[in-house]
């Protein structure tokens, strides 16, 4: 275990809860660190329930193709913590990460602080010391009390689709969840609002008017006009001007919508040095692992052979299952195997119920080193709630699942989903590297 990994393990012990939404502990530490968050400008802040990681990835790619120096902070990581912090597009080194974490740990003096809060402090400290042209901040959970919401000078806040998720922390209604996520709008010069539930739209309009912030809303200020699945391009308008771009390589029609949100965000800045060809190149080249990622060149596909397709997606809420359903419905002539693991607090019944019609079998997995729903508990939930004759099996790990499928079926598509933490474990097994 390298030094940074040991420090990260130690930092996990500073607070009895993994999640405790507040800004007081973090702002206290940041004050001791000479307030690095107040030294940041040119920040784009991204919140939402679905698509925020993909939108951030599109933004990073577009800015990189425009020769911008880009810092990025995202979460969670899939394989290594370093994935969360990119300095001028490169993953932070173990040495640099260790130095920052030790500095934050020293000034924190052993006081209670969550893992996400103190690691966010490390990221903000790094960003304040290394020059960049754009800083992309993705919220961890919620918005109003999310650790990233300490930044006070934002170019833009982006709100991706908001739906029901993390109800135990954010509230039991779409209105309550939206109020929490819209909490990032403070200190923003502009707001880019993607396709939303009518309740969210109404709340965003009220908040934008109250804070006197320019609101650029999907459907009125910008919108996709047409998706051409033959030519593989889409047209959209933004503030009365028309644009044409190629489809992203990221799989699924929803990624076109995510790309359009990123485009609207970039165009809202009015930067003349960002050309349409840069935007197009950024859309096409964007990469974001574990978002309907086809594992076709790694250890797992090598074991399964050419007659099986393996797809990996970290989706875990109802909106994610709606997206998966549209994809799986197109595969109804083939065997489709759902391989799923979920964290405590998620709703496997509602998630799987959307998909069950075209499944051949379901395999339930644990998620090592995390608080997950035990496979046998999930099986009981599913069997009691879903009237289906589909085989439901509890498995020890992904290797056991693959062995069972390969020995039982001649061909088919595997969809591994339910958690980004599970996705990370699968990517490790596959030998995938993120750089």
Question: pLDDT at position 138, please?
Answer: 98
- d(C-alpha 135, C-alpha 60), whole Å: 9
pLDDT computed for residue 171 by the predictor: 76
Q: H helices within 171-268, ranges in order? A: 174-181, 198-211, 254-268
| Cα(34)–Cα(37) distance, integer angstroms | 9
The reply to whether the predicted model has a pTM over 0.85 is yes
Q: Write down the pLDDT at residue 340.
A: 97
Residue 141 has a pLDDT of 84
Alpha carbon separation from 73 to 57, 85, 125, 147, 165 (Å, rounded): 11, 5, 12, 11, 21
Mean pLDDT by 10 residues, the chain (435 residues): 86 79 93 98 95 97 98 96 97 97 96 95 98 97 92 96 76 89 94 96 96 96 96 96 97 96 98 96 97 95 97 91 93 94 91 90 94 93 75 94 97 96 96 93
Q: How far apart are CA 125 and CA 37, in angstroms?
A: 7
Whether residue 70 contacts residue 133, with contact meaning beta carbons closer than 8 Å, is answered with: yes
By CB atoms closer than 10 A (0-12, 13-18, 19+), residue 337 is buried
pLDDT recorded at residue 319: 87
Query: Do the Cβ atoms of 224 and 260 come closer than 8 Å?
Result: yes
In what helix (H) or strand (E) does residue 308 lie, and over which residues does it extend?
A: strand 308-312
Domains and CATH numbers, the chain: 3-285 (3.40.1190.10), 293-430 (3.90.190.20)
> Residue 179 is encoded by which pair of tokens?
């109020």
Q: At 196, list the tokens.
A: 């939303």
Locate all alpha helices (DSSP H) within 273-385, ordered by sequence: 276-285, 299-304, 318-329, 348-353, 375-385
User: Measured in whole angstroms, how far is the alpha carbon of residue 157 from the centre of its chain?
Assistant: 16
Coil, strand or helix: which one is 83? helix
Res 1: pLDDT = 61
SS3 content of the chain, % helix, strand, coil (to 5): 45, 20, 40
């Amino acid at each position: 275990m390298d030094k940074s990994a040991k420090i990260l393990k130690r930092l996990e012990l500073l607070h009895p809860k993994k999640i405790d939404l507040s800004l007081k502990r973090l702002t206290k530490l940041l004050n001791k660190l000479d307030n690095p968050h107040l030294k940041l400008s040119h920040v784009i802040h991204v919140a939402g329930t679905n698509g925020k990681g993909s939108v951030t990835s599109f933004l990073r790619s577009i800015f990189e193709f425009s020769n911008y120096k880009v810092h990025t902070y995202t979460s969670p990581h899939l394989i290594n913590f370093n994935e969360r912090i990119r300095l001028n597009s490169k993953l932070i080194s173990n040495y640099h990460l260790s130095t920052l974490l030790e500095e934050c740990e020293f000034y924190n003096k052993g006081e209670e602080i969550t893992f996400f809060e103190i690691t966010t402090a490390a990221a903000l400290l790094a960003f304040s010391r290394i020059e960049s042209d754009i800083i992309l901040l993705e919220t961890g959970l919620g918005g109003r009390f999310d650790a990233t919401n300490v930044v006070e000078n934002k170019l833009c806040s982006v709100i991706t689709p908001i739906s029901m998720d993390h109800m135990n922390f954010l509230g039991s209604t779409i209105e309550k969840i939206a109020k929490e996520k819209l909490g990032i709008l403070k200190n923003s010069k502009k707001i880019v609002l993607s396709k939303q539930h009518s309740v969210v739209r109404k709340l965003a309009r009220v908040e934008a008017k109250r804070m006197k912030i320019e609101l650029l809303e999907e459907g009125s200020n910008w919108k996709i006009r047409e998706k051409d699945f033959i030519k593989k391009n889409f047209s959209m308008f933004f503030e009365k001007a028309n644009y044409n771009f190629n489809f992203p390589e990221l799989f699924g029609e929803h990624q076109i919508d995510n790309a359009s949100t990123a485009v609207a965000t970039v165009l809202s800045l009015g930067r003349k040095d960002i050309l349409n060809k840069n935007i197009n190149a950024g859309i096409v080249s964007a990469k974001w692992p574990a978002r309907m990622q086809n594992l076709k060149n790694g250890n797992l596909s090598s074991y399964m052979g050419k007659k099986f397709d393996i797809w990996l997606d970290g989706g875990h809420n109802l909106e994610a299952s709606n997206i998966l359903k549209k994809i799986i419905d197109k595969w109804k002539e083939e065997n489709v195997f759902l391989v799923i693991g979920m964290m405590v607090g998620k709703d496997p019944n509602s998630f799987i119920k959307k998909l069950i019609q075209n499944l051949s079998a379901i395999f339930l997995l644990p998620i090592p080193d995390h608080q997950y729903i035990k496979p046998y508990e999930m099986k009981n939930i599913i069997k009691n709630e879903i009237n289906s004759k589909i085989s439901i099996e509890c498995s020890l790990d992904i290797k056991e699942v693959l062995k069972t499928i390969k020995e039982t079926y001649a061909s088919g598509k595997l969809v591994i989903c339910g958690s980004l933490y599970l996705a990370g474990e699968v990517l490790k097994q596959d030998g995938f590297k993120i750089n």
